[in-house]
Amino acid sequence: MRIPRPPLRLVAAVLGGLFLIEFVALAIDPVDRGAWLLENVLVILSVGVLVATGRRFPLSRLSYTLIFLFLCFHEIGSHYTYSLVPYDAWSRSLLGFSIDESLGFERNHFDRSLHFAYGLLLAYPVREFYVRVVDARGAWGYVLPLGFVMSTSMIYELIEWWAAVIFGGELGAAYLGTQGDIWDAHWDMSLASLGAIMAMATTLAINASLRRDFAREWHESLSVKSDKPLGEEALAELLEPDPPPGQ
């Protein structure tokens, strides 16, 4: 079965244009301008990297779409601040019921849904990088993206903490967005990890069912590539003087 594939540059251009429209629209009169600026520093840097590397290292249509979806959700959170996104009011107005009441939520959960989306939507683009650049094969093509999501999720929580300490006051509280939950950072990291696990599990299941060399590549990725130990053995080799010329 041949899957229809529109031109890659066209897909990237359309997604980029749509995101730019949303970005500009939601940049107008955000709830907290300072928090909006803090939330979009990494977005601007990330988009800049994607644009700068797009010609030499274009991602797949799927990866660009997943990144686009995550950034779109993020811009909604940065406009309202994550703890004030009125998703429940939208649900009442459009669907006629309260999401919070139906699920028993006692806080605004938009921030946690975005941390879950971080793992779910971005683990595959990260996998594409590891496979194409690092040449990660077999098990490592699934483990390394998961590790990346988990570690960067932890780093982001540290950045939030540092920003809250540095800026303090209402801006720091708005950026941190714990809503009084002392376990907020733990929840965020756990949900990002869960999203990444689901994404990688889905990718693994598809590859296992469709790739004929899946088992062989998996086995080879876990085999020992060198029987020489590292540590002090490698250090000793590095410290050994170079042999005289001609020997």
User: If the chain, 247 residues long, is cut into consecutive pieces of 10 residues, what is the mean pLDDT of each piece?
Assistant: 83 96 96 88 94 94 97 95 88 90 84 94 97 95 96 87 69 56 81 97 96 93 90 86 69
CB atoms within 10 A of CB 44: 11
Output the six-digit token pair for 33. 């301008």
Dihedrals φ, ψ of 99, to 5°? -65, -45
pLDDT of residue 227: 87
For residues 114 and 99, is the Cβ–Cβ distance under 8 A?
Answer: no
Q: Position 90: which residue type?
A: W
pLDDT of residue 79: 95
* Planar angle of CA 140, 142, 225, nearest 5 degrees: 10
pLDDT of residue 65: 97
Output the six-digit token pair for 222. 């876990």
pLDDT of residue 236: 87
pLDDT of residue 191: 95
Question: What global pTM score does this model have?
Answer: 0.88
In sign, the C-alpha dihedral spanning 166, 76, 188, 96 is positive
Phi-psi region of 32 (alpha: psi -120 to 50; beta: other; left: phi over 0): beta
